[in-house]
Structure 1
Amino acid sequence: MRVTMIGTGYVGLVSGACFADFGHEVVCVDKDPSKIERLNRGEIPIFEPGLEQLVADNVKAGRLSFAVDGAEAIRNAEVVFIAVGTPTRRGDGHADLSYVYAAAEEIAGLIEGFTVVVTKSTVPVGTGDEVDAIIRRTNPDAQFAVVSNPEFLREGAAIEDFKRPDRVVIGVEHDRAREVMAELYRPLSLNEFPVVYTSRRTSELIKYAGNAFLAMKITFINEIADLCEKVGADVQQVAKGIGLDGRIGSKFLNPGPGYGGSCFPKDTIALVRTAQQYEAPVRLIETTVEVNDARKLAMAEKIRRAAGGDIAGQTVAILGLTFKPNTDDMRDSPSLAIIPALQKMGARVRAFDPEGMAEARHLLSDVHFAEGPYQAVEDADVLVILTEWDQFRALDLKRMKTLMRRPLLVDLRNIYRPHQARNDGFEYVGVGKP
Structure 2
Amino acid sequence: MSLSSELGRQPINESSLRYPGWRIALTCFAVAIFSWGFGFYGQGVYLAELRDLEGWPASLVSAASTSYYLFSAVLVVFVSDAISRFGPKRVVLAGTACLGVSTALVGRVTAPWQLYVAYLLMSFGWAAMSAAAITTILGLWFRARLGLAISLAFNGAAVGGIVVTPVLVAAIERVGFARALLTGAAIMAAILVPMTIAWMGKPPLQLGPHGVSNATLEKSGSERWTRRRALGSSKFLTVSAAFAVALFVQVGFLVHQINFLAASMDRRRAGFVVAITAIMAVVGRLGLGVVVDRLDQRMASAVCFVAQTVALFVMASTSDETALFVTCAVYGLCVGNVVTLPSLIIHREFDAASFPMLVAFSTAITQFVYALGPGSLGLIRDISGGYQVPLLFCAILNVVATGIVLLPRFWSARRDNTR
Q: Verify same fold: TM over 0.5.
A: no
Larger Rg: 1
Q: Aligning the two structures, in what range does the TM-score lie when normalised by the shorter sequence?
A: under 0.3
| TM-score, normalised relative to structure 2 | 0.25
